[in-house]
Amino acid sequence: MKSIAEITNHYGPQLATMALDLGAIKLQVQQPFTWASGYRMPIYNDNRRLLASPKARSLVCDAFCAMLDCLDFDVENIAGTATAGIPHATTLADRLGKPLSYVRSSGKDHGLAQQIEGLGQSGSYEGAKVLLIEDLISTGGSSIKAVEAIVKAGGVCPYTLAIFTYGFDAAVKAFEALEPQAAFHTILDYDVMVDSALRTGYVDSDEARLLSQWREDPFGWGEKHGFSQVVK
């Protein structure tokens, strides 16, 4: 059985190339993006663009299946985060022949006011082992809320699998603080993505160096390079 590291080393570079080609990951060192927070960042990730490629969707599913085998987790329900995690959770649930659910960031303000859909009449996971599927792990906040919602609804959710992570320490610390304990694993991480971008000529060595500097201080990078935070 392969390790998680071996699986990500195999699938990560392939996914990085696809994500860059499809525009799911965009890198602009000289003209950084403005994130919703107002910070100027040299990277923008929109994994919904992967949906346009059957090959990319299949690769994501293959990687998730391999990771799940490695974890030796007898999953009983696949849960996707709304909305970007839902398509990949659906593909994985179909591949494995498992029930599917999805988790909103909060309950609806009308109807049954449910935060989780797909639980049937009981409205509970009834102790089922649940695998959470995310598209992106940033600071981990939205994923943590989803895990907590699953546990509150009677699910056992020790693992979250995601497509990409920026590698922020905040995400690691957030998952480490969860009770009961939970962990996340991603197909592609930031360092592998930068290496792939350099190898394929998407960025040059100077741009790769600046991107690596961003990884070390993401929220201070813009100011250091003359790109002030946009106040909204």
Which helix (H) or strand (E) segment holds residue 156: the answer is: strand 156-165
d(CA 45, CA 24): 6
d(CA 183, CA 98): 21
Average pLDDT of every residue of the chain: 94
* Burial tier of 47 (Cβ tally within 10 Å: 0-12, 13-18, 19+): buried
pTM of the full structure: 0.95
Model confidence at 57: pLDDT above 90: yes
What is the band of 113 on the pLDDT scale with cuts at 50, 70, 90? low
Instruction: Pick the more confident residue, 1 or 169.
Output: 169
What are the tens digits of pLDDT across the range 122-138?
A: 889 999 999 999 999 99
Q: Which residues pair with 165 in a beta bridge?
A: 137, 189
d(CA 164, CA 11): 12
| Whether the Cβ atoms of residue 208 and residue 194 lie closer than 8 Å to each other | yes
What are the tens digits of pLDDT across the range 65-104?
A: 999 999 989 999 999 999 999 999 999 999 999 999 999 9
Instruction: Pick the more confident residue, 215 or 62.
Output: 62
Which domains can be identified in the chain, with CATH numbers? 4-224 (3.40.50.2020)
What are the tens digits of pLDDT across the range 129-174?
A: 999 999 999 999 999 999 999 999 999 999 999 999 999 999 999 9
Share of the chain above pLDDT 90, in %: 90
What are the tens digits of pLDDT across the range 179-207?
A: 999 999 999 999 999 999 999 999 999 99
Model confidence at 106: pLDDT above 90: no
